[in-house]
Chains A and B, each alone.
Chain A
């Protein structure tokens, strides 16, 4: 079983839609959680950290459920510029572990 699992998609949504991505992790001792964004196989960049209480950054909301070992990312009012691959990332004992990514394509 992969340490971090995501639905690879692709998710094809119209502009303005709300879309949610999910991620599960296998190690209950994992300590920190992130969402990264990757455009066209360029270098990944941090989108947001994920906190236990949940957190929001503009149109983006991240949630963490430690009991279920589950992380989510909600994007509201999707823009064309949101088209990218979204990577769920978990930190455990010095290692940053990536999920395989979920591809999002926002259409006009």
Chain B
């Protein structure tokens, strides 16, 4: 029962480096999401994809890009990492937006 798989689980980047966070789900879900979670801030939506081939900005999209590669995969890219992007990143998926969302285990990213 893989569900939603995120990689990597931990990452340390230097300021200015780039990286891609990978997310894959095996539940044939249409909707996928990327969130970041900072202390005291709850989960903030970065980008979401309501269906294969579509992506939309969430609350905090600046500094990020996404790709919905196919129905299973939704990646998040940091082109030039900044210390303000130090956070825990969660990927999630749901069949439709109004049904239960399942989350990956998170990626703990530190930018130094």
On A, residues with C-beta under 8 Å from B are: 6, 8, 31-32, 34, 41-46, 49, 87, 89, 91, 93-101
Contact = CB atoms under 8 A, between A and B. Distances in A.
B31 interface: yes
Interface of B: 31, 33, 35, 37, 40-45, 48, 50, 56, 58-59, 88, 90, 92, 94, 97-98, 100-101, 103-106
A45 B104 CA distance: 10
Do most interface residues of chain A lie in helix, strand or loop, or is the interface mixed? strand
A49 B41 CA distance: 22
Contacts of A87: 42-43
Specify which of B31, B56, B59, B97 lies most central, judged by the most chain A CB atoms within 10 Å of its CB.
Answer: B97
Contacts of B44: 98
Given A96-B33, A96-B92, A45 B103 contact: yes
